């Protein structure tokens, strides 16, 4: 990334959840290594996609950035200010600038509050008095997110899932944030309305110049939304690149496997080989030594078990395209466990 002064700068970010055990004295007997040394930046107005299977640490990362969780290690810099361990008072000036949108729109809205109250609540808490009053601002926000401003006095249960997520977006926008962390914002919605909500977020990102960290469990959703994409596996970033570099030239075996599951964008594209990942993601309590992906990698060697591959610009990568693998993929590497190149057989 060319921006020398990113909006958000994360380095070595780590979150280990202690596991308590023992009786009568409860002591720490281990740790869930949910996030283990992340480095990435987000420029102003940019959208970074964060992708990986369930359990790889995406939500924890989102909650660390928004400081809903206290980091175990590393550093978070927002607009040049170190907020890694900032307390309530320290966070107060920037609280409104970093907002979060959650996966389950219903669980994140208070069922006993009207939409108007839900959206104006954050303004009230932060003492924001927009010109023309809060109610007028709420109506404007409802309009921006594609809801009827007249529905100001309705309750969450009177809306559909997609509409509820729009309410969540309006609430996040109420404080005019500079950064929104959207944690799988469409995963809980019907496929038919996912695109509508993604389009809304895209409109918001472009027209209001808001930076996004967009979390998703597959590469299909972020493809149209994020200029840059980071792929996570077991608490680590295994590959990060501009969108086109990542989709056209995936170098990490895990990225390649994830991509093979994404439906082809064009009809006449050569059918991609399907790579079926075997087994589950190992436990983050006791992750594999060396490369954490090695227990599911078709190319793992002794070296992979002993040396953790650093996240670097592998030979053949464009600048800014980083890969953590001792043996990066190339266009003509044939993955061993592919099922078939024959589109009929692969269907
Ligand atoms: N509060 C917590 N206490 C202990 N373990 C947790 C906690 N939150 C998340 N984890 C564990 O951390 C790992 C990463 O979780 P999460 O960040 O939710 O992953 P993702 O969002 O990618 O599915 C999982 O193994 C999860 O069980
Ligand atoms: S470092 Fe080894 S185990 Fe890890 S992804 Fe690369 S080849 Fe596979
Ligand atoms: Mg999650």
pLDDT digits (tens, 9 = 90+) for 90-133: 898 898 999 999 988 778 899 999 999 999 998 998 888 888 99
Closest atom of ligand 1 to 217 CA is: 22
Contact 83, 66 (CB under 8 A): no
Looking at residue 272, what is its pLDDT?
A: 63
In the predicted structure, residue 167 carries a pLDDT above the cut 50: yes
Q: Which residues pair with 36 in a beta bridge?
A: 14
Show the DSSP H helices in 224-312 as ranges.
243-248, 253-260, 302-306
Q: What phi and psi values does residue 27 have, to the nearest 5 degrees?
A: -130, 170
Establish whether residue 294 lines the binding site of ligand 2, counting it when its CB lies within 6 angstroms of any ligand atom: yes
Residue 229: which pLDDT band, with cuts at 50, 70 and 90?
very high
Label residue 21 exposed, middle or buried (CB < 10 Å: 0-12, 13-18, 19+). exposed
- Shortest CA distance to 232 belongs to which of 30, 23, 40? 40
DSSP state of 189: S
Residue 12: which pLDDT band, with cuts at 50, 70 and 90?
very high
Q: Which residue CA neighbors atom 24 of ligand 1 most closely?
A: 55
**Domains of the chain by residue range:** 8-97+177-346
- Shortest CA distance to 182 belongs to which of 290, 292, 51? 51
In the predicted structure, residue 337 carries a pLDDT above the cut 60: no
What's the mean per-residue pLDDT of the chain? 89
Q: Which residues pair with 15 in a beta bridge?
A: 35
- Shortest CA distance to 239 belongs to which of 314, 338, 337? 314
Stated pTM of the model: 0.91
Query: Which residues have beta carbons under 5 A from ligand 3 (an ion)?
Result: 58-59
Query: Which homologous superfamily is 8-97+177-346 in?
Result: P-loop containing nucleotide triphosphate hydrolases (3.40.50.300)
Residue 24: which pLDDT band, with cuts at 50, 70 and 90?
confident
Looking at residue 33, what is its pLDDT?
A: 97
Range with the poorest average pLDDT among 53-62, 158-167, 243-252, 262-271? 262-271
Contact 124, 134 (CB under 8 A): yes
Looking at residue 334, what is its pLDDT?
A: 55
Residue 333: which pLDDT band, with cuts at 50, 70 and 90?
low
Q: How far is the CA of 71 from the centre of ligand 1 (A)?
A: 13
| pLDDT tens per residue across span 169-207 | 999 999 999 999 999 999 988 888 999 999 999 999 999
Contact 168, 109 (CB under 8 A): yes
Residue 269: which pLDDT band, with cuts at 50, 70 and 90?
low
Q: What phi and psi values does residue 130 have, to the nearest 5 degrees?
A: -65, 155
């Amino acid at each position: 990334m060319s921006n020398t002064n990113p909006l958000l700068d994360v380095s070595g970010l780590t979150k280990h959840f202690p596991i308590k055990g023992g009786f009568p004295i409860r002591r720490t007997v281990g740790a869930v290594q949910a996030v283990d040394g992340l480095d990435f930046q987000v420029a102003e107005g940019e959208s970074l996609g964060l992708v990986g299977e369930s359990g790889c640490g995406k939500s924890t990362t989102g909650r660390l950035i928004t400081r809903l969780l206290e980091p175990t290690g590393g550093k978070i810099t927002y607009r040049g200010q170190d907020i890694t361990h900032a307390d309530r008072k320290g966070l107060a000036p920037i609280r409104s600038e970093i907002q979060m949108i959650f996966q389950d729109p219903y669980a994140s809205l208070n069922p006993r509050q009207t939409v108007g109250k839900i959206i104006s609540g954050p303004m009230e808490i932060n003492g924001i008095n927009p010109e023309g009053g809060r109610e007028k601002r709420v109506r404007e926000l409802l309009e921006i997110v594609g809801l009827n401003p007249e529905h100001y006095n309705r309750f969450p249960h009177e809306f559909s899932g997609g509409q509820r997520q729009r309410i969540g977006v309006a609430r996040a926008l109420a404080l005019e944030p500079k950064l929104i962390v959207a944690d799988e914002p469409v995963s809980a919605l019907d496929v038919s309305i996912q695109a509508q909500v993604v389009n809304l977020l895209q409109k918001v990102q472009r027209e209001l110049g808001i930076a996004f960290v967009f979390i998703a469990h597959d590469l299909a959703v972020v493809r149209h939304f994020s200029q840059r994409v980071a792929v996570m596996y077991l608490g680590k970033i295994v590959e990060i690149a501009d969108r086109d570099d990542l989709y056209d030239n995936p170098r990490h075996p895990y990225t390649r496997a994830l991509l093979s599951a994404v439906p082809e964008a064009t009809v006449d594209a050569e059918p991609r080989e399907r790579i079926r990942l075997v087994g589950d993601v190992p436990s983050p309590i006791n992750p594999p030594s060396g490369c954490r992906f090695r227990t599911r990698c078709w190319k793992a060697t002794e070296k992979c078990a002993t040396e953790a591959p650093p996240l670097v610009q592998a030979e053949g990568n464009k600048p800014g395209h980083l890969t953590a693998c001792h043996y990066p993929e190339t266009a003509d590497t044939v993955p061993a466990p592919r099922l078939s190149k024959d589109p009929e057989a692969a269907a």
